[in-house]
Amino acid sequence: MQGSPFQGFEFEAYMAMKAKKINKMLDEAIPLRHPLKLNEAMRYSLLAGGKRVRPILCIASCELVGGDESLAMPIACAIEMIHTASLIHDDLPCMDNDDLRRGKPTNHKVFGESTAFLAGDAFLSFAFEHIACNTNNVSPDRLVRIFAELSSVIGSKGLVAGQFVDIESEGKAVSLKELEYIHVHKTAKLLEACVVCGVIIGGGNDNDIEKVRIYARFIGLLFQVVDDILDVTKSSVELGKTAGKDLVSNKATYPKVMGIDEAKNFAYHLMNQVVQQLACFDTAKAAPLYHLAYCIANRQN
Amino acid sequence: MQGSPFQGFEFEAYMAMKAKKINKMLDEAIPLRHPLKLNEAMRYSLLAGGKRVRPILCIASCELVGGDESLAMPIACAIEMIHTASLIHDDLPCMDNDDLRRGKPTNHKVFGESTAFLAGDAFLSFAFEHIACNTNNVSPDRLVRIFAELSSVIGSKGLVAGQFVDIESEGKAVSLKELEYIHVHKTAKLLEACVVCGVIIGGGNDNDIEKVRIYARFIGLLFQVVDDILDVTKSSVELGKTAGKDLVSNKATYPKVMGIDEAKNFAYHLMNQVVQQLACFDTAKAAPLYHLAYCIANRQN
């Protein structure tokens, strides 16, 4: 980061402040109402910690184009709910069959398979309900655009398609093209929706949207490359989830396809591209987005 | 129906014509694109037949307040997708573990558990995408109301809550209050969303919405009471799904709680209430909604 125009920004304080507000809103969004166990299961995974990268990306993008944090908050929370739904479902026995997530037992290990399953289903629709019922001072046509953007990144052209191809590819030889399809659909599209929805709700124009889309595509790839590298270089305790699992399951990863050194070079290249994308924005307003990318590139778990 | 003001309406022709158009739109909504097997699984359950009661209710409600069929079609199709998602997920081994649905093997029996699971997830979001991308000539504020209405009937205050309480109640003594909670959430709320969304998209006012809400609550109850009666009085072949299953699994049903004769009396009472609700509407425009209720009350499978 030496010599970067984004030096000096108090990124850790910014993240902590945003995460605190997001956690408060997420806590209030799912009260302990009837049926109790279902809502407990939803709260267990939603409030399990995590860095809140996606909702912060959404809020930072709203602020990038001059919008207030409060405008983006319901959408930011909804995105975290969608992300949580995908984690709960991906961990289930009939999917990746994982026991650990964010250092804690996975949802179905605590609440049982059928409850975890339904908690995920509930989040997929509650996310939309949360936006529709809590967004104020935004024109309905911008809200409809957000519904279109968000719904398209989840289903059979988004998250679900990525998870499907990922599971189908287990135990098979996987080309780089297939590998990128999985990561674009499982990871990058939701990150893209974070920044695009943030800019839409913040009042940005089509040009702003296009710029953050490109930014998001680079950090989406970056996120997955780093995730794959960590899976082969770190222990389960360090990661807070089962390490080395991709290797054992013969799952497609960047280190497996291109080797660990080339995967690291690729991550470095992507970070340079991110810096170039943000060069045309106001430096102060773009600082959180730069630091988020830097944080993704350099995370240790 | 003798002496009814709704006599003479060609209901079967109306249903056949509407179902044909809906089936065509559903067929076009899910093309056989990559990933092929996922889209095949979605098409398998979406196009498996069924009477299309929910989408027709939506279109009939739109027409009730003077709206054109084409306005309601994307929402009608989206509602059938949500219904299909709930059927696929309910049939899974970790839920009701059912082998037959609409006379055919259930989705996971044909495509495997993980694909069926993801097909259901895909529908839950694709329904919203389908509305956002295909609805024309409707003000965005009406669309936002529809998103709020539809999303609220699926999640932890709707379908998912009903399915959760249903599964939790298996093998336990169930009060009539709990029984009604399950049916309101699993069945009635989606039927209510059909007519409410139809009226909103058709240009109806708050008074129209309130009237169809009450109508929907009665047919929702009616639907479940008749379903429960059929489960104990018909064979698997007649139903096109496993009969007597509720009894074996000790699941809450109306015949079990109030006895078969009282359940039949309750259905008769509900049908009378429906007729009273529709009395204040234009007879010709209300005829489909009357006949739909009559059809629900008198169906044999």
pLDDT digits (tens, 9 = 90+) for B242-300: 666 666 666 668 888 889 999 999 999 999 888 888 888 899 999 999 999 998 898 88
Per-window interface: A 76-105 vs B, CB < 8 A = 89, 92, 94-95
Q: Is residue A171 classed as helix, strand or coil in its secondary structure?
A: coil
Q: Quote the percentage of chain A above a pLDDT of 90.
A: 66
Complex ipTM value: 0.88
Tokens of B199: 């009226």
Contacts of A132 in chain B (CB under 8 A): 144, 147-148, 151
- Which CATH number covers residue A185? 1.10.600.10
Residue A1, domain member (yes or no): no
CB contact, 8 Å: B156 with chain A? yes
CA distance B228 to B233: 9
Q: What is the pLDDT of residue A2?
A: 60
For the segment B163-212, what is each residue's pLDDT rounded down to a tens digit?
999 999 888 877 778 888 988 998 889 999 999 999 999 999 998 999 99
Measuring CA to CA, which residue among B115, B232, B135 is closest to residue B144? B135
Residue-averaged pLDDT of chain B: 90
pLDDT at B35: 95
pLDDT of res. B133: 93
Chain B: residue whose CA lies nearest to A167: B114
10 Å CB burial of residue B204 (0-12, 13-18, 19+) is: buried
The answer to whether position A66 is within a domain reads yes
Predicted pLDDT at B256 = 84
* Residue B4 covered by a domain: no
CA distance B149 to B146: 5
Give the closest of B34, B121, B140 to A124, CB-based. B121
B170 touches chain A (CB under 8 A): no
| pLDDT of B249 | 63
Low-confidence residues of chain A: pLDDT under 50: none
Give me the phi and psi of A100, to 5 degrees please. -125, 140
Residue A146 belongs to some domain of the structure: yes
- Amino acid at the residue B69: E
Residues 259 through 298 of chain B touching chain A, CB cutoff 8 Å: none
Domain interval for residue A156: 11-298
Burial class (CB in 10 A: 0-12, 13-18, 19+), B124: buried
Task: Please check whether residue A115 touches B, CB under 8 A.
Answer: yes
Tell me if A3 is assigned to some domain: no
- Within a domain: B119: yes
- Contacting residues of B for A117, CB less than 8 Å apart: 89, 92, 94-95
Domain count across chain B: 1
CB–CB of A56/A18 below 8 Å?
A: yes
Q: Assess if residue A208 is contained within a domain.
A: yes
E strand intervals along chain B: 100-101, 104-105
Q: So what's the pLDDT on residue B178?
A: 87
Is the residue at B1 inside a domain? no
Residue B2 has pLDDT above 70, yes or no: no
Q: What is the pLDDT of residues A66-114, one digit of tens each?
A: 999 999 999 999 999 999 999 999 999 999 899 999 889 999 999 999 9
Q: B111 at the A interface (CB within 8 A)?
A: no
For residue B137, give how far its alpha carbon lies from the nearest alpha carbon of chain A (Å): 13
